[in-house]
Amino acid sequence: MDDIIGPVKQYILDTFLKGEDPSALRNDTPLISGGILDSLATLELVSFLEQRFGIQLEAHEVDAERLDTLTAIAALVQGKSARV
Amino acid sequence: MTDLAAAGASAVPATAATRPREGIGLRALAGLTAQLALAWAVVWVFQIEGPGFRRLVPLVVAGFVGHALLPLAWRLPAFTLLSLAAAPLVLEPEVAAWVVGLGLALVAICHLPIAWRWRIGLLLLVGGGAALAKGALLSTPVPPGVWSVLAGLFALRILIYVYDVRHATQPVGPLKTLAYFFMLPNVCFLLFPVVDFKTFDRTHYNEAPATIYQRGLRWIAMGLLQLLAYRVVYQEITLDVTQVHSGGQLLQYVFTTLLLYTRVSGQFHLIVGLLLLFGFNLPRSNNRYLLATSFTDLWRRINIYWKDMMMKLVYYPSFFALRRRWPQGSSVILATGIVFVVTWALHSWLWFWARGAVLLSWTDVAFWSAVGVLVVWSTWRELKAGPKRVLGTGAPGWSGRRGVRILGIFTLFSLLWSLWSAESLGVWAGALSTVTTLRWTEGLLWLGLAGAFVLFAGWNWDAIAQRQEADARWDGGLAPTALLCGLLALSPARAPSWIPDPLTGYVQALHKSGLNKVDKERMGRNYYEQINESGARALGVQESRRGNPWLEVHGAAHQVRSDFLVRSLIPGAKLSADGMPFSVNSQGLRDQEYSLAKPAGVQRIAVVGSSIVMGLGVADGTTFEALLEERLAQDSAVPPHEILNFGIGGLSHVQAVFVTEHLARPYDPDLLLFTIHEPDPVFLARHLRHVLEQGVAIPYPEVARIVEQAGLHAGMSEGEALRRMEPLNDELSRASFHRLAAWGRERGIPVLAIALPIPLEGSGARLATYIEMVQEAGLGVIDLRDIWAGQDEARMVIRPEDHHPNTEGHRILAERLYRELRARPDLLGIPPTKPAISAPSRTP
């Protein structure tokens, strides 16, 4: 899981949260419901996940259930990778 | 705040390991119940929302306590049962049975063991059939009221449900499905937030119950506050576009029309708060939308559930389809544009189910196009630069730049909202043209208000609110308790003595749950007159026409004329509604046959007026005019009388003069009675518009002058005519009363006005002005403004949405008129009573 969470966390910090304290972004920090990822940022994150991890996401997979926390994102990527 | 685990925690999914404590202590429950009881008191005292909701509140209070004490596993079944029990409590039992039965059929189709394309096809087939039935194009045994309620439950949620079930990784339980579609407060709120099924499922008790319940109560209190604030805005502050005649009024119209959305926001807070009381830890439905810093920000703050639905069903699927051919940025822009086209179409779809007519208007197209373009533009800017995102909501400090930016978005959105609210583009443009008349004092006032707004909006209210919510005192019951107690302190119907005089009107407005003054007149406009008027959509007259046969009768009984009267009853017309005959005699009067020549020894009274005189809503022979004739005939002291009914639907005061001179005069009346009525400005605007469209000669110089002065012309919308005539209406009424007075004097005929209010709470205010004018013209008045006092107005009208007096109403009118006329024997030709001569006393 850490090999997924690490790059994703770094991407979010570099792209959307420049200058923020990295330790404040925890694995269970709500990203979508907490207002950090709006629809545009979510689509940018989707592109990053697809390119970085070689997976393909479907429209119905873009929701708070799967993308709201780093832990949830890692689980999604792991599940998709296993099916690739 | 650096640790954000708590922020937005409502959406964090609960697992078996993380699921919080399931129960609640009795003390905590007692505190929550006490707050809920306070909310109930506010609903009761201020008569919040409709009677259906008020009937539901005790069920909610009792249901909440019982539900909270149940083991977790029993709570969902209990909520489902409670929701189903609410249907017959709010709806007619037959309607409730149809709604539940048809709803279950729709759910069953979603779960048929056939391919999805067949299931969707079946749903479309059923939906199409229902639409035909709703549009009265297909005859079904289903009562008409069922379709609106069913659509309120299913029209949008079934789209979400099908999407989620289709992509679900686990089977969906039937209880959750039933709870989702029949969720408790929905039957009495047909305008309902589009709750997402997955969120509904995922957030059920995902936090400690006490936390969820307390949040729900906070939102209920905020909802009640907004609903009461709406009343003040609606009753005392906002203007209708037809009332805009100066730059100051234009600004008042533009900047207060958007505030009417507080009703929707208040309802949504109330509804979502109620759902939280049953463990559904849903997110907020509206979030400080007046403080948006961009159009994308506004889109994310206003009606959030709608935005989420659009993201899920339209935006992401469109984006994923488009990106196969287009670059990412272009796909985002195109998907955003598609969202707004679909949003417009779905609003029309919802309108159809609520009103029974398709909503197609240029103001609608212009509004959604403009908002769509602005959001696309804002999205494009964000794509290029990216908004500054922070962990949390940032510092709660003040920034002038933020305040000015918010003011700009608020101003632009208010302007667009005023366009959406206007009857037509022409009416809106006409109102905007008054901006040149803005006086410097008004400009200074609005500049001051703008400055105050910037000072307020400059603070980071998201951060302030988040800090407050993190504070135990605010997170507990203190804030909602204080708010609800504060509202109750304003509860006496008369403003408490400690309220300063200038504010008493606002406090009294908190208790006014009906239509404001302008909309009361508009209601008159809608149900008195023609079907195809553009203003009809504002009050859904299309639907009421479908369900109200009297309005069909009203349309069918009139013909177009080629003189100034423009319309009159069709001689010999035989119609009926609600089993009651509506007949017009051979001379075009809603009356029995009368010879043109007055029979010897008979006195005639001509009654001139609009649809109430004509007797719309009552059977032949039961109009107040006919009953009065009967009553006089029974009175042996009264000489023989014939009373002739010259009532014509939607007759204005100006037309009353024409009817008197041309229709009533040949019958040689001995007394003329004409009604003065509140909706006259609407009747007048419509009449003059028709006169101009048909190129009919205007026989009265003052009318021709005022038409020219107002700039009326053929092809002008009714709303624009109404707006332009507003400052001149009284002048025309006054001139009409003087003409009637002169007509009576020339012929030695007494002429009296009947001040006739409709049976509707608060009606009659304008009549005082008309009475003054009538008296100034030297005419007598029969003042009936108090006629409905002490009566249950709801029992005096033909339908809840149609305030024409019914048979009982006409009986009361006739009886009162009889007494008024008997008190003035000279009007009835009763010889003065000779003083009694006492017998000479005999002296002993």
Closest partner residue to A33 (CB to CB) among B10, B311, B315 is B10
Q: What are the DSSP calls for B211-265, one per residue?
A: HHHHHHHHHHHHHHHHHHHHHHIIIII---GGG--SHHHHHHHHHHHGGGGHHHH
Number of structural domains found in chain A: 1
Instruction: Give the chain A residue whose CA is nearest to the CA of B10.
Output: A33
Phi, psi of B722 (to 5 degrees): -65, -45
Q: What are the DSSP calls for B296-364, one per residue?
A: HHHHHHSSHHHHHHHIIIIIHHHHHHHTTTS-HHHHHHHHHHHHHHHHHHHHHHHHHHHHSS----HHH
Size of interface A-B (CB pairs under 8 A): 85
Which of B126-135, B609-618, B835-844 has the highest average model confidence (pLDDT)?
B609-618
Provide the b/e sequence for B103-118 (b: ≥16 CB within 10 Å).
Answer: beebbebbeeeeeeee
Instruction: Give the chain A residue whose CA is nearest to the CA of B376.
Output: A40
Closest partner residue to B5 (CB to CB) among A26, A35, A64 is A26
Q: Does A3 touch chain B (CB under 8 A)?
A: no
Asked if residue B9 has pLDDT above 70, the reply is: no
Mutate to test the interface with A, among B315, B326, B391, B460 (most CBs of A within 10 A): B391
Q: Identify the band that residue B535 occupies on the pLDDT scale cut at 50, 70 and 90.
A: very low
Q: What is the pLDDT of residues B405-451, one digit of tens each?
A: 999 999 999 999 999 888 788 889 989 999 999 999 999 999 999 99
Distance from CA of B17 to the nearest CA of A (A): 14
Asked if residue B4 has pLDDT above 50, the reply is: no
Asked if residue B58 has pLDDT above 50, the reply is: yes
Per-residue confidence (pLDDT) for residue A20, from 0 to 100: 84
Asked if residue B459 has pLDDT above 90, the reply is: yes
Beta-carbon neighbour count of residue B138 at 10 Å? 13
Closest partner residue to B315 (CB to CB) among A30, A39, A69 is A39
Contact B391 A43 (CB under 8 A): no
Contact B198 A34 (CB under 8 A): no
Closest partner residue to B12 (CB to CB) among A23, A30, A63 is A30
Measuring CA to CA, how many Å separate B17 from each of B210, B370, B608, B718? 19, 48, 79, 65
Instruction: Give the chain A residue whose CA is nearest to the CA of B198.
Output: A65
Per-residue confidence (pLDDT) for residue B187, from 0 to 100: 84
Least confidently predicted of A27-36, B444-453, B712-721: B712-721
Say which residue the tokens 């389809």 belong to.
Answer: B321
Task: Give me the CATH number covering residue A24.
Answer: 1.10.1200.10
Asked if A31 and A12 count as a contact pair (C-beta separation under 8 A), the reply is yes
Per-residue confidence (pLDDT) for residue B528, from 0 to 100: 26
Mutate to test the interface with A, among B12, B307, B308 (most CBs of A within 10 A): B12
Q: Identify the band that residue B592 occupies on the pLDDT scale cut at 50, 70 and 90.
A: very high
Asked if residue B531 has pLDDT above 90, the reply is: no
Closest partner residue to A30 (CB to CB) among B11, B379, B390 is B11
SS3 state at A4: helix
Asked if residue B838 has pLDDT above 60, the reply is: no
Contacts A69 to B, Cβ<8 Å = 12
Mutate to test the interface with B, among A9, A60, A67, A76 (most CBs of B within 10 A): A60
Least confidently predicted of B284-298, B340-354, B731-745: B340-354
Q: What is the pLDDT of residues B70-119, one digit of tens each?
A: 999 999 999 999 999 998 888 888 888 999 999 999 999 999 999 999 99
Average pLDDT over residues B307-323: 96
What value does the mean pLDDT of chain B take? Answer: 86
- A1 compared with A69, residue with greater pLDDT: A69
Q: Does B283 touch chain A (CB under 8 A)?
A: yes
- Degrees to nearest 5, angle at CA B59 with B55 and B60: 105
Query: Which residues numbered 340-379 in B keep a CB inside 8 Å of some CB on A?
Result: 379
Domains of chain B: 521-828 (3.40.50.1110)
Contact A64 B11 (CB under 8 A): yes
Q: Does A45 touch chain B (CB under 8 A)?
A: no
SS3 state at B666: helix
Domain that holds residue A26: 2-83
Asked if residue B546 has pLDDT above 70, the reply is: no
Closest partner residue to A34 (CB to CB) among B7, B320, B383 is B7
Least confidently predicted of B383-392, B405-414, B636-645, B818-827: B383-392
Contact A30 B300 (CB under 8 A): no
Q: Identify the band that residue B834 occupies on the pLDDT scale cut at 50, 70 and 90.
A: low
Q: Identify the band that residue B332 occupies on the pLDDT scale cut at 50, 70 and 90.
A: very high
Cβ neighbours for B609, distance < 8 A, ≥ 6 positions apart: B646, B647, B651, B656, B674, B675, B677, B754, B756
Average pLDDT over residues B8-24: 50
Beta-carbon neighbour count of residue B624 at 10 Å? 29
Q: What are the DSSP calls for B90-158, one per residue?
A: HS-HHHHHHHHHHHHHHHHHHT-SS-HHHHHHHHHHHHHHHHHHHTTSS--SS-THHHHHHHHHHTTHH
Contacts B300 to A, Cβ<8 Å = 38
Contacts A50 to B, Cβ<8 Å = none
Q: Identify the band that residue B666 occupies on the pLDDT scale cut at 50, 70 and 90.
A: very high
Task: State which amino acid sits at residue B38.
Answer: L
Q: Does B380 touch chain A (CB under 8 A)?
A: no
Asked if residue B501 has pLDDT above 90, the reply is: no
What is this structure's pTM? 0.75
Contact A43 B319 (CB under 8 A): yes
From the list B499, B498, B489, B494, the residue with the least C-alpha distance to B509 is: B494
Q: What is the pLDDT of residues B733-755, one digit of tens each?
A: 999 999 999 999 999 999 999 99
ipTM over 0.90: yes
Contact B328 A36 (CB under 8 A): no
Percentage above 70 pLDDT, chain B: 89
Can you state the angle between helices B26-45 and B209-232, rounded to 10 degrees? 10
Contact A30 B7 (CB under 8 A): yes
